[in-house]
């Protein structure tokens, strides 16, 4: 393949980007998006604060724009995200207990119903595990509604959109460590009890301090062995030149070596579009030119 999307498609995978909907009016941005990518994820526009700014009042205009763009250009849409402790609307701050649980479940149901049939995979729950060595759930307002909040969210999402793959998504879970062990135990438990979960997303935000782990592929594989698909969902790698290019290549090769690693999404298009632009972590520079990391990514996709 001569583009990321075409090369990934040769092994049945997608290659996606996180998209900021307000940049769809930037012709350089859209040109790269349409040429290279076969899946899109809304960077912010499908989150709780964006879609339900007041209780039970839903605003889908921005998310719908992205879905229309994807449909017009033959791209899939990854939904992000139904339940997360961040980017909640202000009105949830005064809720707790049953009231917050019900608000969360209504949110999941309404949003997943609105987008039914249009989303290939939903990040149903995002970042629910704690950093560090505990392997435990993260303390949050949602967690304080009871440990079963995650499975309740997955059941509500399945009921609303039975055709979407339902994923758990997190960061610092890319290698085997206490946090990924915690997620692994949850997924194993969900599979054993028939809680509907189809996939696990590995955000894969890498930095100098937190590089691609040596057991990245083995970690993806152990999740696949539980019966779920895996996807790389927010890939970005701090750095430049050949070291950044090598790291991208390693990530892509790891995914291609795992048969049920079904797609890769990078967390933006140009370095200047990144939520951490000073890390220059993406595949295109601020002018939209291909970086060394682009070439190594394309080569790794074509080697699969």
Would you tell me which residues interact with ligand G3I (CB under 6 A)? 43-44, 86-87, 126, 171, 203, 234, 275
Nearest C-alpha neighbor of 20 from the set 212, 275, 192: 275
Nearest C-alpha neighbor of 82 from the set 100, 109, 116: 109
Whichever of 239 and 268 has its CB closer to ligand G3I, that residue is 268
Which contiguous run of DSSP H or E holds residue 293?
helix 292-303
Q: Which among 36, 52, 234, 238 is annotated as catalytic?
A: 234
Read off the tokens for 56: 């039970």
Which contiguous run of DSSP H or E holds residue 104?
helix 97-114
Give the side-chain half-sphere CA count within 13 A for 111: 33
Quote the CA–CA distance of 45 and 107 in Å, as a whole number: 14
Whichever of 7 and 70 has its CB closer to ligand G3I, that residue is 70
Whichever of 48 and 171 has its CB closer to ligand G3I, that residue is 171
CA dihedral (82, 83, 87, 90) in degrees, to 10, reads 110
Query: Active-site residue 234, yes or no?
Result: yes
Give the side-chain half-sphere CA count within 13 A for 79: 33
Read off the tokens for 87: 């980017």
Distant-in-sequence, close-in-space partners of 229: CB < 8 Å, separation ≥ 6? 165, 198, 199, 200, 260, 261, 262
Backbone angles phi, psi at 37, to 5 degrees: -115, 145
Least separation in angstroms between CB 51 and ligand G3I:
13
Show which residues are catalytic.
234
């Amino acid at each position: 393949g001569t583009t990321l999307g075409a090369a990934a498609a040769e092994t049945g995978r997608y290659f996606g980007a996180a998209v900021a909907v307000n940049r769809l009016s930037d012709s350089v941005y859209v040109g790269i998006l349409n040429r290279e990518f076969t899946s899109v994820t809304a960077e912010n526009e499908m989150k709780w604060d964006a879609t339900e700014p007041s209780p039970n009042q839903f605003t889908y205009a921005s998310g719908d724009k992205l879905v229309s763009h994807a449909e017009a250009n033959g791209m899939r849409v990854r939904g992000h995200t139904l339940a997360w402790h961040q980017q909640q609307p202000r009105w949830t701050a005064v809720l707790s207990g049953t009231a917050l649980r019900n608000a969360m479940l209504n949110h999941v149901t309404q949003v997943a119903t609105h987008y039914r049939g249009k989303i290939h995979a939903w990040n149903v729950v995002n970042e629910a595990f704690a950093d560090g060595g505990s392997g435990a759930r993260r303390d949050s307002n949602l967690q304080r509604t009871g440990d079963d909040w995650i499975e309740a969210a997955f059941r509500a999402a399945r009921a609303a959109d039975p055709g979407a793959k339902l994923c758990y998504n997190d960061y610092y879970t890319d290698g085997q460590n206490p946090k990924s062990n915690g997620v692994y135990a949850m997924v194993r438990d969900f599979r054993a009890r028939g809680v509907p979960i189809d996939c696990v997303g590995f955000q894969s935000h890498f930095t100098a301090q937190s590089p691609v782990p040596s057991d990245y592929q083995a970690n993806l594989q152990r999740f696949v062995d539980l019966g779920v698909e895996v996807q790389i969902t927010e890939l970005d790698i701090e750095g430049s030149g050949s070291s950044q290019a090598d790291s991208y290549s390693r990530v892509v090769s790891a995914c291609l070596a795992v048969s049920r690693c079904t797609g890769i999404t990078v967390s933006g298009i140009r370095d200047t579009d990144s939520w951490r632009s000073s890390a220059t972590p993406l595949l295109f520079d601020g002018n939209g030119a291909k970086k060394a990391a682009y070439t190594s990514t394309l080569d790794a996709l074509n080697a699969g």
